[in-house]
Amino acid sequence: MNKAQLVEAIADKLGGRQNAAEAVDAVLDAIVRAVVTGDRVSVTGFGSFEKVDRPARYARNPQTGERVRVKKTSVPRFRAGQGFKDLVSGSKKLPKGGEVSVKKAPKGSLTGGAAIKKAAAKKATAKKAIAKKTTTAKKAAAKKTTAAKKAAAKKTTTAKKAAAKKTTAAKKAAAKKTTAKKATAKKTAPAKKATAKKAPAKKATARKTTAKKTTARKR
């Protein structure tokens, strides 16, 4: 029987496959966590789970026969309870229907209870820490985005102001240049008129001089 088949076997008793799967996962997780931390989980009539330390030793490779050094390690171990052993050996008959009757564990016999509570508390604390870290990261990201937007807006506003100032300065320079041209045009116009007036006077003088010369010749 694998895990899926185990879930199916107890689904009817626990109100559905989802509830059965959650129950199996919870029990296995609690046992594994307790054994890993070094606690012994004992269920009267069923058996006990515990962690066993194995010292460094020498072993032989079954394929080559070579002597190999094995490092110190820890392994999980399950010891069946007497009730479980009796049912397997046949000294006690397995009931045809209903649940297998095992002795109820007396108070305090489940020695891994404290470890399970500690593991659950640690798990909850870890979840809170992750949630807090995520919230902090989101806030930091939001602040960074806001700062970037403000900087971009400030840069755009500064650029627009600079462009406006540049345009205004260019307009003022163009207006000054136009005013200067008009002033130059005004100054040039009277000078041209004066030159035009002087030219006929020179022509009249030249005519008079010519007339005098002609009269002198006649005499």
CA distances in angstroms from 115 to 40, 110, 130, listed in the order given:
9, 10, 22
Give the C-alpha separation, 159 to 153, whole Å. Answer: 10
**Under DSSP, is residue 76 helix (H, G, I), strand (E, B) or coil?**
strand
As a whole number, mean pLDDT of residues 215-219 equals: 62
Give the C-alpha separation, 187 to 27, whole Å. Answer: 108
Judged against a pLDDT cut of 60, whether residue 117 lies above it is answered with no
Give the C-alpha separation, 11 to 20, whole Å. Answer: 5
Q: For Cα atoms 101, 102, 106, give the angle at the middle one, nearest 5 degrees.
A: 135
Residue 112: per-residue pLDDT: 47
Tell which phi-psi region holds residue 98, choosing left (phi > 0), alpha (psi between -120 and 50) or beta: left
Strand partners, 42: 48
pLDDT digits (tens, 9 = 90+) for 52-106: 999 999 999 999 989 999 999 999 999 999 989 998 998 888 877 666 655 555 5
pLDDT digits (tens, 9 = 90+) for 142-168: 788 778 888 887 887 777 888 778 877
The confidence band for 110, taking pLDDT boundaries of 50, 70 and 90, is very low
Judged against a pLDDT cut of 50, whether residue 7 lies above it is answered with yes
**Under DSSP, is residue 84 helix (H, G, I), strand (E, B) or coil?**
helix
Among 19-28, 66-75, 121-130, which stretch is predicted with the lowest mean pLDDT? 121-130
As a whole number, mean pLDDT of residues 44-48 equals: 92
Residue 52: per-residue pLDDT: 93
Domains of the chain from N-terminus onward: 3-119 (4.10.520.10)
Could you tell me the two tokens for 2?
Answer: 């694998």
